[in-house]
Chain A
Amino acid sequence: MHIPDGILPVPVTLGGYAITIGAVWFCLHKIKQKDDPREDIPRASLLTAVFFVASLIHFPVPPMSVHLMLSGLLGALLGFFAIPAILIGLFFQAVMFGHGGLTTLGVNTVIIGFPALVAHFIFRLRNLGQTGPGKTGLYGFAAGASAIGLSVVLFAVILLFTFPADLSRSMEQSAILILMAAHIPMIIIEGLITATAAVFLLRVSPRLLQGI
Protein backbone atom coordinates (compact mmCIF):
# COMPACT_ATOMS: atom_id res chain seq x y z
CA MET A 1 0.00 0.00 0.00
CA HIS A 2 2.85 2.32 -0.80
CA ILE A 3 2.28 4.89 -3.53
CA PRO A 4 5.50 5.15 -5.54
CA ASP A 5 7.12 8.27 -6.97
CA GLY A 6 5.92 9.66 -10.26
CA ILE A 7 2.18 9.01 -10.00
CA LEU A 8 0.73 11.78 -7.86
CA PRO A 9 0.67 15.47 -8.80
CA VAL A 10 3.07 17.75 -6.89
CA PRO A 11 0.34 19.60 -4.89
CA VAL A 12 -0.84 16.24 -3.49
CA THR A 13 2.67 15.08 -2.51
CA LEU A 14 3.43 18.47 -0.94
CA GLY A 15 0.07 18.36 0.85
CA GLY A 16 1.01 14.90 2.17
CA TYR A 17 4.25 16.31 3.57
CA ALA A 18 2.43 19.25 5.15
CA ILE A 19 -0.09 16.96 6.90
CA THR A 20 2.66 14.56 8.00
CA ILE A 21 4.82 17.36 9.41
CA GLY A 22 1.81 18.66 11.36
CA ALA A 23 0.97 15.17 12.65
CA VAL A 24 4.58 14.42 13.64
CA TRP A 25 4.84 17.79 15.39
CA PHE A 26 1.65 17.03 17.35
CA CYS A 27 2.85 13.52 18.29
CA LEU A 28 6.30 14.78 19.38
CA HIS A 29 4.59 17.50 21.42
CA LYS A 30 2.55 14.80 23.19
CA ILE A 31 5.67 12.64 23.74
CA LYS A 32 7.65 15.57 25.18
CA GLN A 33 4.92 16.13 27.79
CA LYS A 34 6.05 12.93 29.55
CA ASP A 35 8.34 13.15 32.61
CA ASP A 36 11.31 11.58 30.80
CA PRO A 37 10.61 11.29 27.06
CA ARG A 38 14.10 9.82 26.44
CA GLU A 39 13.23 6.73 28.47
CA ASP A 40 10.66 5.59 25.89
CA ILE A 41 12.82 6.16 22.81
CA PRO A 42 14.81 2.86 22.89
CA ARG A 43 11.56 0.97 23.50
CA ALA A 44 9.72 2.69 20.63
CA SER A 45 12.74 2.26 18.35
CA LEU A 46 13.17 -1.46 19.00
CA LEU A 47 9.46 -2.10 18.53
CA THR A 48 9.64 -0.08 15.28
CA ALA A 49 12.52 -2.31 14.14
CA VAL A 50 10.42 -5.39 15.01
CA PHE A 51 7.51 -4.08 12.93
CA PHE A 52 9.91 -3.34 10.08
CA VAL A 53 11.20 -6.94 10.20
CA ALA A 54 7.65 -8.34 10.59
CA SER A 55 6.72 -6.59 7.34
CA LEU A 56 9.06 -9.07 5.62
CA ILE A 57 6.69 -11.93 6.52
CA HIS A 58 4.67 -12.96 3.49
CA PHE A 59 1.41 -14.87 3.31
CA PRO A 60 0.07 -16.73 0.30
CA VAL A 61 -3.26 -15.19 -0.75
CA PRO A 62 -3.87 -16.79 -4.15
CA PRO A 63 -3.06 -15.73 -6.84
CA MET A 64 -0.30 -13.74 -5.11
CA SER A 65 1.34 -13.32 -1.74
CA VAL A 66 0.89 -10.37 0.61
CA HIS A 67 3.21 -9.07 3.29
CA LEU A 68 2.15 -8.16 6.81
CA MET A 69 1.83 -4.49 7.76
CA LEU A 70 0.78 -4.81 11.42
CA SER A 71 0.02 -1.08 11.53
CA GLY A 72 -2.91 -1.78 13.88
CA LEU A 73 -0.68 -3.60 16.37
CA LEU A 74 1.97 -0.91 15.97
CA GLY A 75 -0.60 1.78 16.75
CA ALA A 76 -1.97 -0.19 19.71
CA LEU A 77 1.48 -0.61 21.28
CA LEU A 78 3.23 2.63 20.32
CA GLY A 79 0.45 5.20 20.73
CA PHE A 80 1.73 8.66 19.79
CA PHE A 81 5.05 7.15 18.74
CA ALA A 82 3.20 5.38 15.90
CA ILE A 83 3.31 8.19 13.32
CA PRO A 84 7.03 9.03 13.84
CA ALA A 85 7.76 5.26 13.79
CA ILE A 86 5.87 4.78 10.52
CA LEU A 87 7.59 7.78 8.94
CA ILE A 88 10.99 6.32 9.87
CA GLY A 89 10.01 2.83 8.70
CA LEU A 90 8.75 4.16 5.35
CA PHE A 91 11.91 6.22 4.89
CA PHE A 92 14.06 3.12 5.47
CA GLN A 93 11.90 1.06 3.11
CA ALA A 94 12.21 3.71 0.39
CA VAL A 95 15.97 4.03 0.88
CA MET A 96 16.85 0.36 1.37
CA PHE A 97 14.42 -1.43 -0.94
CA GLY A 98 12.99 1.29 -3.20
CA HIS A 99 9.48 0.56 -1.86
CA GLY A 100 7.22 3.59 -1.74
CA GLY A 101 8.95 6.81 -2.67
CA LEU A 102 10.63 9.97 -1.46
CA THR A 103 8.17 12.50 -2.89
CA THR A 104 5.29 10.31 -1.66
CA LEU A 105 6.77 9.74 1.82
CA GLY A 106 4.31 12.23 3.34
CA VAL A 107 1.26 10.77 1.56
CA ASN A 108 2.27 7.21 2.49
CA THR A 109 2.72 8.25 6.14
CA VAL A 110 -0.81 9.68 6.08
CA ILE A 111 -2.17 6.46 4.51
CA ILE A 112 -0.57 4.15 7.09
CA GLY A 113 0.03 6.45 10.09
CA PHE A 114 -3.40 7.95 10.68
CA PRO A 115 -5.19 4.56 10.68
CA ALA A 116 -2.51 3.29 13.11
CA LEU A 117 -3.36 6.14 15.47
CA VAL A 118 -7.08 5.33 15.11
CA ALA A 119 -6.21 1.71 15.98
CA HIS A 120 -4.46 2.98 19.12
CA PHE A 121 -7.66 4.67 20.32
CA ILE A 122 -9.79 1.63 19.41
CA PHE A 123 -7.45 -0.65 21.37
CA ARG A 124 -7.47 1.70 24.34
CA LEU A 125 -11.23 1.09 24.69
CA ARG A 126 -10.19 -2.36 25.94
CA ASN A 127 -9.21 -0.73 29.24
CA LEU A 128 -12.82 0.24 29.99
CA GLY A 129 -14.04 -2.29 32.54
CA GLN A 130 -12.42 -5.67 33.14
CA THR A 131 -9.89 -6.96 30.62
CA GLY A 132 -9.40 -10.59 29.69
CA PRO A 133 -8.12 -12.62 26.74
CA GLY A 134 -11.49 -12.57 24.93
CA LYS A 135 -11.87 -8.80 25.17
CA THR A 136 -8.21 -8.25 24.27
CA GLY A 137 -8.61 -10.48 21.20
CA LEU A 138 -11.78 -8.67 20.14
CA TYR A 139 -10.28 -5.20 20.42
CA GLY A 140 -7.06 -6.49 18.86
CA PHE A 141 -9.03 -7.73 15.86
CA ALA A 142 -10.89 -4.41 15.61
CA ALA A 143 -7.62 -2.44 15.81
CA GLY A 144 -5.79 -4.60 13.27
CA ALA A 145 -8.63 -4.87 10.76
CA SER A 146 -9.71 -1.21 11.02
CA ALA A 147 -6.13 0.05 10.53
CA ILE A 148 -5.76 -1.85 7.26
CA GLY A 149 -9.33 -1.12 6.18
CA LEU A 150 -8.86 2.63 6.68
CA SER A 151 -5.50 2.52 4.92
CA VAL A 152 -7.11 0.82 1.92
CA VAL A 153 -9.83 3.48 1.78
CA LEU A 154 -7.28 6.32 2.01
CA PHE A 155 -5.04 4.63 -0.55
CA ALA A 156 -7.89 4.14 -3.03
CA VAL A 157 -9.29 7.65 -2.58
CA ILE A 158 -5.91 9.38 -2.91
CA LEU A 159 -4.78 7.26 -5.84
CA LEU A 160 -7.95 7.40 -7.86
CA PHE A 161 -9.13 10.96 -7.24
CA THR A 162 -5.75 12.61 -7.78
CA PHE A 163 -4.56 10.41 -10.59
CA PRO A 164 -3.52 12.48 -13.63
CA ALA A 165 -5.00 10.17 -16.32
CA ASP A 166 -8.51 10.43 -17.78
CA LEU A 167 -10.66 7.68 -16.29
CA SER A 168 -14.43 7.61 -16.64
CA ARG A 169 -16.57 7.81 -13.50
CA SER A 170 -17.72 4.19 -13.87
CA MET A 171 -14.11 3.09 -14.36
CA GLU A 172 -13.06 4.92 -11.16
CA GLN A 173 -15.90 3.33 -9.20
CA SER A 174 -15.05 -0.14 -10.51
CA ALA A 175 -11.36 0.38 -9.71
CA ILE A 176 -12.20 1.44 -6.14
CA LEU A 177 -14.47 -1.59 -5.64
CA ILE A 178 -11.92 -4.01 -7.10
CA LEU A 179 -9.14 -2.50 -4.96
CA MET A 180 -11.25 -2.77 -1.79
CA ALA A 181 -12.39 -6.32 -2.55
CA ALA A 182 -8.81 -7.41 -3.27
CA HIS A 183 -7.77 -6.22 0.21
CA ILE A 184 -10.53 -7.98 2.19
CA PRO A 185 -8.43 -11.13 2.82
CA MET A 186 -5.58 -8.91 4.02
CA ILE A 187 -7.91 -7.01 6.39
CA ILE A 188 -9.07 -10.31 7.92
CA ILE A 189 -5.53 -11.73 8.15
CA GLU A 190 -4.21 -8.58 9.84
CA GLY A 191 -7.16 -8.56 12.23
CA LEU A 192 -6.61 -12.20 13.21
CA ILE A 193 -2.85 -11.81 13.63
CA THR A 194 -3.24 -8.64 15.69
CA ALA A 195 -5.87 -10.33 17.89
CA THR A 196 -3.73 -13.45 18.44
CA ALA A 197 -0.56 -11.43 19.05
CA ALA A 198 -2.41 -9.19 21.54
CA VAL A 199 -3.67 -12.23 23.49
CA PHE A 200 -0.14 -13.71 23.40
CA LEU A 201 1.30 -10.46 24.80
CA LEU A 202 -1.40 -10.34 27.49
CA ARG A 203 -0.24 -13.76 28.70
CA VAL A 204 3.52 -13.34 28.25
CA SER A 205 4.25 -9.64 28.76
CA PRO A 206 1.14 -7.66 29.76
CA ARG A 207 3.30 -4.56 30.41
CA LEU A 208 3.75 -4.24 26.66
CA LEU A 209 0.01 -3.91 26.12
CA GLN A 210 -0.16 -0.88 28.38
CA GLY A 211 1.54 1.02 25.57
CA ILE A 212 4.40 3.46 25.62
Chain B
Amino acid sequence: MSGSESIQGSSVLHRLDPRIKLVSLMILAFSYSFVSTPLLLGVMGVATFLLWTASGLSASFILEKLKFPSLIIMALVLTLPFISGETILIDLGVISLKQEGLLSSIIVGTRFLCIITTALIILNSSHLLAYIKAMRAMGLPWIMADMALLVFRYLKVIKDDYTQMKTSMKLRGFDRHKLSFNNLRITAWLCGGLLVRGFERSDWIYRSMRLRGYGSQNSRDHDFRVKGSDGLAFGISIVIAAMLVFSELALRR
Protein backbone atom coordinates (compact mmCIF):
# COMPACT_ATOMS: atom_id res chain seq x y z
CA MET B 1 0.00 0.00 0.00
CA SER B 2 2.88 2.32 0.62
CA GLY B 3 4.20 2.19 -2.92
CA SER B 4 6.20 5.34 -3.49
CA GLU B 5 4.72 5.94 -6.97
CA SER B 6 1.25 6.08 -5.52
CA ILE B 7 1.66 8.40 -2.59
CA GLN B 8 3.92 10.89 -4.35
CA GLY B 9 1.49 11.41 -7.25
CA SER B 10 -0.06 14.79 -7.94
CA SER B 11 -3.37 13.86 -9.61
CA VAL B 12 -6.77 15.24 -8.58
CA LEU B 13 -7.34 12.01 -6.68
CA HIS B 14 -4.17 12.49 -4.62
CA ARG B 15 -5.33 15.94 -3.50
CA LEU B 16 -8.77 14.86 -2.27
CA ASP B 17 -9.66 14.68 1.42
CA PRO B 18 -8.93 11.11 2.65
CA ARG B 19 -12.29 11.04 4.49
CA ILE B 20 -14.15 11.72 1.23
CA LYS B 21 -12.06 9.08 -0.55
CA LEU B 22 -12.78 6.44 2.09
CA VAL B 23 -16.53 7.05 2.17
CA SER B 24 -16.72 7.19 -1.64
CA LEU B 25 -14.74 3.95 -1.89
CA MET B 26 -17.11 2.11 0.42
CA ILE B 27 -20.19 3.46 -1.39
CA LEU B 28 -18.77 2.44 -4.78
CA ALA B 29 -17.60 -0.98 -3.52
CA PHE B 30 -21.02 -1.85 -2.10
CA SER B 31 -22.86 -0.61 -5.19
CA TYR B 32 -20.51 -2.66 -7.41
CA SER B 33 -21.16 -5.78 -5.38
CA PHE B 34 -24.92 -5.25 -5.93
CA VAL B 35 -24.62 -5.35 -9.73
CA SER B 36 -25.33 -8.59 -11.61
CA THR B 37 -26.62 -7.42 -14.99
CA PRO B 38 -24.13 -7.77 -17.90
CA LEU B 39 -24.85 -4.24 -19.22
CA LEU B 40 -24.17 -2.67 -15.81
CA LEU B 41 -21.03 -4.75 -15.39
CA GLY B 42 -19.77 -2.92 -18.48
CA VAL B 43 -20.69 0.47 -16.96
CA MET B 44 -18.82 -0.54 -13.80
CA GLY B 45 -15.77 -1.45 -15.87
CA VAL B 46 -15.84 1.92 -17.65
CA ALA B 47 -16.17 3.77 -14.31
CA THR B 48 -13.16 1.86 -12.96
CA PHE B 49 -11.15 2.65 -16.10
CA LEU B 50 -11.99 6.38 -15.83
CA LEU B 51 -10.97 6.38 -12.17
CA TRP B 52 -7.64 4.81 -13.11
CA THR B 53 -7.13 7.48 -15.78
CA ALA B 54 -7.84 10.22 -13.24
CA SER B 55 -5.44 8.70 -10.72
CA GLY B 56 -2.38 9.04 -12.93
CA LEU B 57 -1.10 5.68 -11.69
CA SER B 58 0.76 3.55 -14.21
CA ALA B 59 -0.85 0.38 -15.57
CA SER B 60 2.21 -1.63 -14.47
CA PHE B 61 1.71 -0.45 -10.88
CA ILE B 62 -1.91 -1.66 -10.85
CA LEU B 63 -1.08 -4.92 -12.63
CA GLU B 64 1.75 -5.60 -10.18
CA LYS B 65 -0.72 -5.25 -7.30
CA LEU B 66 -3.24 -7.51 -9.07
CA LYS B 67 -0.63 -10.19 -9.72
CA PHE B 68 -1.82 -12.46 -6.95
CA PRO B 69 -5.59 -12.62 -7.28
CA SER B 70 -7.46 -14.49 -4.63
CA LEU B 71 -7.28 -18.29 -4.94
CA ILE B 72 -10.98 -18.51 -4.16
CA ILE B 73 -11.84 -16.16 -7.03
CA MET B 74 -9.60 -18.11 -9.39
CA ALA B 75 -11.18 -21.41 -8.33
CA LEU B 76 -14.72 -20.03 -8.68
CA VAL B 77 -14.18 -18.34 -12.03
CA LEU B 78 -12.60 -21.49 -13.46
CA THR B 79 -15.01 -24.08 -12.03
CA LEU B 80 -18.43 -22.35 -12.02
CA PRO B 81 -19.02 -22.61 -15.79
CA PHE B 82 -18.75 -26.39 -15.45
CA ILE B 83 -20.56 -27.09 -12.17
CA SER B 84 -23.40 -24.55 -12.00
CA GLY B 85 -26.57 -24.34 -14.11
CA GLU B 86 -28.49 -26.58 -16.49
CA THR B 87 -28.38 -25.00 -19.96
CA ILE B 88 -25.52 -26.71 -21.78
CA LEU B 89 -23.57 -24.47 -24.16
CA ILE B 90 -20.77 -26.87 -25.13
CA ASP B 91 -20.81 -30.60 -24.35
CA LEU B 92 -17.28 -31.86 -23.83
CA GLY B 93 -18.23 -35.43 -22.90
CA VAL B 94 -17.19 -35.82 -19.25
CA ILE B 95 -17.87 -32.16 -18.49
CA SER B 96 -19.99 -29.49 -20.15
CA LEU B 97 -19.90 -25.71 -20.25
CA LYS B 98 -23.15 -24.31 -18.84
CA GLN B 99 -24.69 -20.92 -19.51
CA GLU B 100 -25.77 -20.05 -15.96
CA GLY B 101 -22.39 -21.01 -14.54
CA LEU B 102 -20.55 -19.00 -17.16
CA LEU B 103 -22.70 -15.94 -16.38
CA SER B 104 -22.09 -16.33 -12.61
CA SER B 105 -18.38 -16.67 -13.30
CA ILE B 106 -18.34 -13.44 -15.36
CA ILE B 107 -20.37 -11.58 -12.70
CA VAL B 108 -18.13 -12.69 -9.81
CA GLY B 109 -14.90 -12.07 -11.75
CA THR B 110 -15.91 -8.60 -13.01
CA ARG B 111 -17.21 -7.44 -9.62
CA PHE B 112 -14.01 -8.63 -7.93
CA LEU B 113 -11.75 -6.94 -10.47
CA CYS B 114 -13.66 -3.64 -10.40
CA ILE B 115 -13.84 -3.49 -6.59
CA ILE B 116 -10.22 -4.45 -5.99
CA THR B 117 -8.95 -2.09 -8.70
CA THR B 118 -11.03 0.81 -7.35
CA ALA B 119 -9.77 0.06 -3.84
CA LEU B 120 -6.15 -0.17 -5.01
CA ILE B 121 -6.38 3.13 -6.87
CA ILE B 122 -8.07 5.05 -4.06
CA LEU B 123 -6.10 3.56 -1.18
CA ASN B 124 -2.81 4.14 -2.97
CA SER B 125 -3.51 7.83 -3.52
CA SER B 126 -2.78 8.77 0.13
CA HIS B 127 -0.62 7.30 2.86
CA LEU B 128 -2.22 4.61 5.02
CA LEU B 129 -1.63 6.79 8.09
CA ALA B 130 -3.77 9.53 6.52
CA TYR B 131 -6.60 7.02 6.15
CA ILE B 132 -6.30 5.87 9.75
CA LYS B 133 -6.42 9.52 10.89
CA ALA B 134 -9.39 10.08 8.56
CA MET B 135 -11.23 7.14 10.13
CA ARG B 136 -10.47 8.52 13.59
CA ALA B 137 -11.80 11.92 12.52
CA MET B 138 -14.99 10.19 11.35
CA GLY B 139 -15.58 8.56 14.72
CA LEU B 140 -13.46 5.39 14.83
CA PRO B 141 -13.11 4.55 18.57
CA TRP B 142 -9.78 5.75 20.01
CA ILE B 143 -8.77 2.24 21.08
CA MET B 144 -9.09 1.01 17.48
CA ALA B 145 -7.31 4.07 16.05
CA ASP B 146 -4.42 3.86 18.54
CA MET B 147 -4.07 0.12 17.94
CA ALA B 148 -4.09 0.57 14.14
CA LEU B 149 -1.43 3.30 14.33
CA LEU B 150 0.79 1.22 16.65
CA VAL B 151 0.38 -1.96 14.58
CA PHE B 152 1.35 0.00 11.46
CA ARG B 153 4.29 1.63 13.27
CA TYR B 154 5.74 -1.68 14.53
CA LEU B 155 4.97 -3.98 11.60
CA LYS B 156 8.31 -3.20 9.96
CA VAL B 157 10.23 -3.60 13.24
CA ILE B 158 8.69 -7.01 13.89
CA LYS B 159 9.08 -8.05 10.25
CA ASP B 160 12.82 -7.22 10.60
CA ASP B 161 13.00 -9.32 13.79
CA TYR B 162 11.34 -12.17 11.91
CA THR B 163 13.70 -11.90 8.93
CA GLN B 164 16.70 -11.88 11.25
CA MET B 165 15.48 -14.95 13.17
CA LYS B 166 14.62 -16.73 9.91
CA THR B 167 18.12 -16.09 8.57
CA SER B 168 19.68 -17.45 11.78
CA MET B 169 17.50 -20.56 11.51
CA LYS B 170 18.51 -21.06 7.90
CA LEU B 171 22.19 -20.70 8.80
CA ARG B 172 21.73 -23.45 11.39
CA GLY B 173 20.32 -25.77 8.72
CA PHE B 174 16.56 -25.25 9.06
CA ASP B 175 14.75 -26.38 5.90
CA ARG B 176 11.35 -24.67 5.80
CA HIS B 177 10.25 -26.63 2.74
CA LYS B 178 9.94 -29.83 4.76
CA LEU B 179 6.80 -30.69 6.73
CA SER B 180 7.85 -32.50 9.92
CA PHE B 181 7.10 -32.38 13.65
CA ASN B 182 10.54 -30.95 14.28
CA ASN B 183 9.91 -28.11 11.82
CA LEU B 184 6.52 -27.40 13.41
CA ARG B 185 8.19 -27.22 16.83
CA ILE B 186 10.90 -24.87 15.60
CA THR B 187 8.30 -22.65 13.90
CA ALA B 188 6.27 -22.55 17.12
CA TRP B 189 9.41 -21.46 19.01
CA LEU B 190 10.01 -18.80 16.38
CA CYS B 191 6.46 -17.48 16.89
CA GLY B 192 6.93 -17.70 20.67
CA GLY B 193 10.23 -15.79 20.41
CA LEU B 194 8.58 -13.04 18.37
CA LEU B 195 5.74 -12.82 20.90
CA VAL B 196 8.15 -12.51 23.85
CA ARG B 197 10.13 -9.78 22.05
CA GLY B 198 6.93 -7.92 21.16
CA PHE B 199 5.61 -8.24 24.71
CA GLU B 200 8.82 -6.94 26.30
CA ARG B 201 9.09 -4.10 23.78
CA SER B 202 5.50 -3.02 24.49
CA ASP B 203 6.33 -2.23 28.14
CA TRP B 204 8.91 0.42 27.35
CA ILE B 205 6.86 1.71 24.43
CA TYR B 206 3.98 2.38 26.81
CA ARG B 207 6.28 4.16 29.26
CA SER B 208 7.76 6.39 26.53
CA MET B 209 4.29 7.10 25.14
CA ARG B 210 3.13 8.17 28.61
CA LEU B 211 6.16 10.45 28.99
CA ARG B 212 5.22 12.12 25.69
CA GLY B 213 1.72 12.82 26.98
CA TYR B 214 -0.19 9.85 25.59
CA GLY B 215 -3.82 10.02 26.68
CA SER B 216 -3.77 13.71 27.61
CA GLN B 217 -4.93 15.13 24.28
CA ASN B 218 -7.96 14.52 22.09
CA SER B 219 -6.83 12.28 19.23
CA ARG B 220 -9.93 13.22 17.19
CA ASP B 221 -8.39 16.63 16.44
CA HIS B 222 -7.46 16.83 12.77
CA ASP B 223 -6.63 19.31 10.04
CA PHE B 224 -8.75 17.87 7.22
CA ARG B 225 -10.66 20.50 5.23
CA VAL B 226 -13.38 19.70 2.70
CA LYS B 227 -12.88 21.67 -0.54
CA GLY B 228 -15.11 22.14 -3.58
CA SER B 229 -13.31 19.35 -5.46
CA ASP B 230 -14.02 16.98 -2.54
CA GLY B 231 -17.73 17.76 -2.72
CA LEU B 232 -17.71 17.21 -6.49
CA ALA B 233 -15.87 13.85 -6.18
CA PHE B 234 -18.28 12.72 -3.48
CA GLY B 235 -21.25 13.78 -5.62
CA ILE B 236 -19.93 11.84 -8.63
CA SER B 237 -19.49 8.70 -6.48
CA ILE B 238 -23.03 9.00 -5.14
CA VAL B 239 -24.45 9.49 -8.65
CA ILE B 240 -22.56 6.46 -10.03
CA ALA B 241 -23.57 4.27 -7.09
CA ALA B 242 -27.22 5.36 -7.19
CA MET B 243 -27.39 4.92 -10.96
CA LEU B 244 -26.00 1.38 -10.70
CA VAL B 245 -28.30 0.34 -7.86
CA PHE B 246 -31.50 1.81 -9.35
CA SER B 247 -30.69 0.52 -12.85
CA GLU B 248 -30.02 -2.93 -11.42
CA LEU B 249 -33.35 -2.92 -9.58
CA ALA B 250 -35.17 -1.74 -12.72
CA LEU B 251 -33.48 -4.34 -14.95
CA ARG B 252 -34.20 -7.18 -12.52
CA ARG B 253 -37.92 -6.45 -12.86
* A residues at B contact (CB < 8 Å): 2-10, 13-14, 24, 28, 31-32, 37-39, 41-50, 52-54, 56-62, 68, 70, 73, 77, 81, 84-85, 87-89, 91-92, 94-99, 101-103, 159, 164-167, 171, 189, 192-197, 200-201, 204-205, 207-208
B151 within 8 A of A: yes
24 contacts between A and B (CB under 8 A): A4-B116, A5-B112, A5-B116, A6-B114, A28-B143, A38-B146, A44-B147, A45-B150, A49-B150, A50-B191, A50-B194, A53-B155, A54-B162, A62-B179, A68-B187, A84-B143, A88-B144, A95-B119, A95-B128, A98-B65, A98-B119, A165-B80, A166-B85, A193-B188
Question: A84 CA to B147 CA in the complex, in Å?
Answer: 9
- Quick one: which of B108, B123, B176 has the most chain A CB within 10 A? B108
Assess whether A77 is in contact with B195, with CB atoms less than 8 Å apart: yes
CA distance A150 to B76 in the complex (A): 23
CA distance A69 to B50 in the complex (A): 37
Contact residues in A for B83 (Cβ distance below 8 Å): 167, 171
Q: Is the CB of A46 within 8 A of B144?
A: no
Q: Across the two chains, which residue of chain B brings its CB closest to A54?
A: B191
For A164, give the chain B residue with the smallest CB separation.
B104
Given known contacts A10-B30, A32-B143, what 14 new A-B pairs fall within 8 Å (CB)?
A43-B203, A45-B146, A46-B198, A46-B199, A53-B162, A54-B162, A60-B179, A91-B148, A92-B151, A97-B68, A98-B116, A98-B120, A192-B181, A196-B188
A31:B195 contact, CB within 8 angstroms: no
Distance (whole angstroms) from the CB of A24 to the closest CB of chain B:
7
- CB interface residues, B 176-194, toward A, < 8 Å: 176-179, 181, 183-185, 187-192, 194
Q: Out of A28, A38, A165, A197, name the residue touching B214 (CB < 8 Å).
A: A38
The distance in angstroms between the C-alpha atoms of A74 and B197, with both chains bound, is 15
Task: Annotate B128-157 by CB proximity to A: 1 below 8 A, 0 otherwise.
Answer: 100100000000010110111011101101
A94 touches B151 (CB 8 A): no
Determine whether B228 belongs to the interface, using a CB cutoff of 8 Å to chain A.
no
Cα A28 to Cα B73 with chains together (Å): 34
Residues of B within 8 A of A32 (CB): 143
B226 contacts A by Cβ under 8 Å: no
Q: Is B57 an interface residue (CB 8 A)?
A: no
The reply to whether A88 and B148 contact each other, CB–CB distance below 8 Å, is: yes
From the candidates B1, B114, B141, B151, name the one contacting A45 in the complex (CB within 8 A): B151
Partner of A3, one of B72, B195, B201: B72
A201 / chain B contacts, CB cutoff of 8 Å: 192, 195-196
B97 CB within 8 Å of chain A: no
- B187 proximity list for chain A (CB < 8 A): 57, 59, 68, 193
State how many angstroms separate the Cβ of A155 from the closest Cβ of chain B.
10
> What is the bound-complex CA distance between A165 and B100, given in angstroms?
8
Specify which of A6, A44, A48 lies most central, judged by the most chain B CB atoms within 10 Å of its CB. Answer: A6
Residue from B25, B115, B197 in contact with A6 in the complex, judged by beta carbons closer than 8 Å: B115
CB of A208 within 8 A of CB of B199, answer yes
Residues in chain A near residue B109, CB distance under 8 A: 6
User: Are B144's CB and A103's CB within 8 A?
Assistant: no
Q: Which residues of chain A are near B111, meaning CB under 8 Å?
A: 5-7
> Which residue of B has the minimal Cβ distance to A41?
B146
Contact: A60 with B177, CB < 8 Å? yes
A55 vs B157: C-alpha distance in the bound complex, in angstroms?
16
Q: Which residues of B contact A50 (CB under 8 A)?
A: 158, 191, 194-195, 197-198
